[in-house]
Amino acid sequence: MTEAVFHLRAGGVSVVVATSDTALPVICHWGRDLGPLDAGALARVTEHAPGTRVTSEPDRPLAVGVLPEPKQAWMGPPGLTGDRDGAAGFPDFDAVANEYERVDSATVAQRLIATATDAANGLALRLEFELLRSGLLRTRAVVRNDGAGRYRVDGLDLALPVPGRAVELLDFSGRHGGERRPQRSTIVDGTHLREQRRGRPGPDSATLLVAGTADFGFARGEVWAVHLGWSGNARLWAHRTNGGRTALGGGELLLPGEVMLGPGEEYETPWLYAAHGEGLDDASARIHEALRARPVHPAVGRPVTLNTWEAVYFDHTLAPLHELAALAADVGVERFVLDDGWFLGRRHDRAGLGDWTVDPAVWPNGLTPLVERVRELGMQFGIWFEPEMINPDSELARAHPDWVLAPLHRDAPLARQQLVLNVGDPDARAHLRDRIVDVVTAHRIDYIKWDHNRDLVEPVDRASGRAGVHRQTRAVYELMHEIRAACPWLEIESCSAGGGRIDLGIVERTDRFWTSDSNDPLERQRIQRWTSLLMPPELLGAHVGAATAHVTGRSSSIDFRAITSMVGSFGIEWDIREATADERASLAGWIAEFVRLRPLIERGRIHRLETEPSIIAQTVVSTDRAHAIATIATVDSPAHLPGAALRLTGLDPEAAYRVTRVRPEASVDPTTTRRQPDWWTEPGIWPGIVLAEVGLPMPILRPQEAGLIELVAQ
């Protein structure tokens, strides 16, 4: 037997993997960088507690493999489950070759690939680990059926060990208009399991499953976080054994019979991403850095966007849209997006999905008069599609009832009056591709807002009778790929009734996310704070809505709304024809500031500040720490009278910063009796160490007020 220990190091993270040619690799350390260890020191990392001979536990010490196997005495969620005609197929990968490689790429630093065979079960396996330059780790597996007959895969989860000092968990839930509500719990023996069975991540997706030391926070404690880069059904779990071993794991959640491998066929898992950090911000920064290093990551200068949905809904009439476009260009909008309602029969949400041709009833001269006006005004043009959906009241549903992803013998339950189109059907997919490419190329449309408004309930392929979420998810990725290949200039925004499809799978095919249907800044402060743990702000659509938010009915000032949109991909979701001239001037002022600051916002590092719960504050700091902004928002009545200071983290303690409030002319309140700190009205110089350790005196902000501060090193 040959054994080798590999030490992968990058971005402040070490991953130590014990390998052998008779067993699958085991991660012995995933966490802080251990420095350059020699072979003797590395061997120490791989030593296990030997166990005792007097209990009923297995004789061999327990090892949580990356693909956990029962033969290693792992009694938590299994790695590979499946069977060949019902035969008990406990995996037994006992012939393994390991290959380590330093990688010359912008994103990946090192790679380890284990290829293994399980002769008893007729299976071959390929396990990949990549340590990205930012210290983000990812792992995936491919299993191949090398035997005769079919092998049914029920699940293939991968797992990573976390040390016993991780005692708490954080993950997320949520609802439409209220995505990413954090939930904390204590790690106890057994399994904490988060399943997503909606055929998409959904508004209640776990997003990240984080284990951490006691009371971990944004810049406190040590954390280990996992995320599955997948837009279909998924599971993430944390398991602690009765022996006190903890692992985080996950994989695609397969419906019965979804993956049946014929001889020679393979199943590939999505990437399981793993971010270690000294607190949440550090782990989050590793994900952001890895995304930003990709050659396909959107360049700095994300266009300020106006989306028409909450301005006109289904009322598509040319003159008001022309007026809206002109006002948009006036305030500084760079991309104009025509939302739902432009295609055949789509006067309301009960008809039309599937019929992707411009409706002559509302667009007698086609889209050209609008597209041309938008372009004349110097803006890009974007348009809404919901390709994976179909209304029973549509030409497509009447022509192709067989293309619906639903049981054959009865009507499927409707959601938002719609059914799911079976994109896994090659003819349906080709039809969609042709329709979308036609519309896009006819006007050289710059941007698609790609929506997905319902869950995949009872998703059955009517031709084969088999469940179809796995196939649907892969087919949608492929469809996006084909459309982008045909229209290389095109950008796509992933929307799913707001933020229901935000994950590291679809991010490889899209350029922006619609973060939530709630444009209420109070909700947005929380939603964006938590969604930005996974996705960097330049990918998260953050729109200034109407003064009275359509989803919550709550009213707020233009300044509070605009500052809330500042750390994001700035946009407008408001009928600005109804805005007062003052409001439009203020909006234009904020847009100009956003455009000035966006190189910083789109590449800076976010530090979420620990404050009392009534305040949400953050800094965004440039890589060289010479330039930063801070946003402070009051989301509730403060618990204390003013007097607190706000410690601004992430700055250079040795530098002196000029502290300036951005747009001090905003929120001037002649009735106020508030005495604000000097810097609120006059720029001042502050030592970085004082800002970090003592803090900036807090301005007195009423509930739903906010401030934007700029810091420039002198």
Cα–Cα distance measured from residue 365 to residue 373, given in angstroms and rounded to the nearest whole number: 13
Residue 543 φ/ψ, nearest 5 degrees: -110, 145
- Look up 669 and say whether it is catalytic: no
- The smaller minimum CB distance to ligand DGJ, of residues 334 and 340, is found at 340
> Burial code of 587-622, b = ≥16 C-beta within 10 A, e = fewer?
bebbbebbeebbebbbbbbbbbbebeeebbbbbbbb
Nearer to ligand DGJ, 166 or 497 (CB): 497
Q: What is the DSSP letter of 508?
A: G
Query: Which residues of this protein are in contact with ligand DGJ, per CB under 6 A?
Result: 309, 339-340, 384, 451, 453, 495, 497-498, 514, 517
Rounded to a whole number, what is the largest CA-CA distance in the chain?
84
- Cβ proximity to ligand DGJ, 236 vs 311, nearer residue: 311
Shortest separation between residue 413's beta carbon and ligand DGJ, angstroms: 19
> Coil, strand or helix: which one is 311?
helix
Write down the catalytic residue from 517, 520, 559, 575: 517
Between CA 344 and CA 362 the distance in angstroms is 9
Closest to ligand DGJ by CB, 18 or 389: 389
Output 273 or 384, the one with its CB closest to ligand DGJ: 384
Length of the chain: 714
> In terms of Cα–Cα distance, which of 490, 493, 501 is closest to 454?
501
Q: How far is the CB of 625 from ligand DGJ (least distance, A)?
A: 37
In the complex with ligand DGJ, which residue's Cβ is closer, 84 or 302? 302
Measure Cα distances from 325 to 258, 363, 372, 582, 587 in Å. Answer: 47, 16, 11, 18, 15
The residue among 336 and 657 lying less far from ligand DGJ, judged by its C-beta, is 336
Pick the closer one to ligand DGJ by CB: 65 or 382. 382
- 340, 451, 455, 575: the catalytic one is 451
Tokens of 484: 């982008």
Residue nearest to ligand DGJ (CB): 340
571's enclosing H/E stretch is: strand 569-573
Nearer to ligand DGJ, 238 or 497 (CB): 497
Distance CA 111, CA 189 (A): 33
What span, in angstroms and rounded, lies between the C-alpha atoms of 471 and 417? 24
Least CB distance to ligand DGJ at residue 495 (A): 5
Least Å distance, CB 310 to ligand DGJ, is 8
Active site residue 451: yes
Smallest separation, CB 491 to ligand DGJ (Å): 16
Task: For residue 50, give the H/E element and its range.
Answer: none
Supply the minimum distance, in Å, between the C-beta of residue 416 and ligand DGJ.
8
Backbone angles phi, psi at 434, to 5 degrees: -65, -40
Q: Using N-to-C axis directions, what is the helix angle for 558-566 and 581-603, rounded to 10°?
A: 20
* 340 in Cβ contact with 451 (< 8 Å): yes
Least distance between ligand DGJ and beta carbon 396 (Å): 17
Alpha-carbon gap, residue 460 to 478, rounded angstroms: 20
- Please tell me whether residue 242 adopts helix, strand or coil conformation: coil
Cα dist from 280 to 119, 173, 541, 611, whole Å: 43, 17, 22, 15
Q: Phi, psi (5° rounding) for residue 81?
A: -125, 140
CA–CA separation, 563 and 278 (whole Å): 28
Which residues are part of the catalytic machinery?
Answer: 451, 517
